């Protein structure tokens, strides 16, 4: 079974030719946040009225205490044309403040249809982190050390390793990919007090997410 996920949408939010922060913005930026706003189901699901839809987000930055983060949620009894809203902080998938703001962020948002219970992401991550492929990708990042094009590519490769490992685990339940959005950004290239919503149309779901820099 092919477990290589192909992005429906790629949002490269970096400014071409710039790979590092500027001193001016580094002082002025106090926080960055990525949050989900809604998921619109655009396809009839296999089990109408009983289908489960869940999404997980992989955030890779490698500079802070949590170099890789995964957030996931499960939604039950989902139908076509239904909007899944996020409120009261439920949609927050990434947040950094002050000195914890990295110079580069890679994020992957994946939406699946499932008629099985949600997977134990923690156990899957443990297996992935112990794999030779993961350790090799991590070592490359540590050896490069500073933000550069090779560094950015190495972080993207590490995220690919994690995503592939999770897709292999998920394939056993015959899940269907509904939306896979891949994004990258340099927080310090954004102007302070800026907030922007992005729309990503997948094969069976359209999602909205917002990036805010303060």
The domain total for the chain is 1
Higher pLDDT among residues 78 and 198, named by residue: 198
Per the domain annotation, does 2 fall within a domain? no
Per the domain annotation, does 201 fall within a domain? yes
Quote the CA–CA distance of 160 and 147 in Å, as a whole number.
19
Domain that holds residue 184: 9-213
Q: For 96-126, what is the HEC assignment?
A: EEHHHCCCCEEEEEEEEEECCCCCCHHHHHH
Per the domain annotation, does 3 fall within a domain? no
The pTM for the full model equals 0.82
Q: What is the pLDDT of residues 20-56, one digit of tens each?
A: 444 444 557 889 999 999 999 998 876 555 578 878 8
Q: Residue 141: its pLDDT value, please?
A: 72
Strand partners, 56: 72, 110
Burial 119-133 (b: 16+ CB within 10 A, else e): bebeebbeebeeeee
């Amino acid at each position: 079974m092919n477990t290589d996920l192909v992005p429906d949408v790629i949002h490269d939010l970096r400014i071409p030719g710039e790979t590092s922060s500027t001193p001016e913005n580094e002082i002025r930026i106090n926080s960055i946040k990525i949050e989900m706003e809604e998921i619109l189901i655009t396809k009839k699901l296999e089990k109408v009225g009983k289908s489960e839809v869940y999404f997980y987000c992989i955030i890779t930055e490698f500079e802070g205490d949590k170099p890789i983060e995964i957030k996931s949620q499960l939604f039950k009894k989902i139908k076509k044309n239904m909007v899944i809203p996020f409120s009261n902080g439920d949609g927050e998938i990434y947040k950094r403040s002050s000195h914890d703001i990295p110079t580069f962020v890679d994020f992957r948002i994946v939406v699946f249809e499932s008629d099985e219970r949600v997977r134990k992401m923690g156990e899957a991550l443990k297996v992935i982190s112990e794999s030779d492929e993961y350790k090799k990708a991590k070592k490359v990042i540590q050896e490069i050390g500073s933000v550069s094009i090779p560094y950015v590519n190495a972080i993207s490769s590490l995220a690919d390793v994690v995503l592939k490992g999770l897709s292999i685990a998920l394939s056993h339940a015959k899940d269907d990919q509904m939306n896979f959005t891949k994004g990258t950004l340099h927080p310090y290239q954004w102007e302070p007090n800026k907030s922007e919503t992005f729309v990503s149309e997948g094969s069976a779901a359209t999602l909205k997410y917002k990036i805010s820099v303060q």
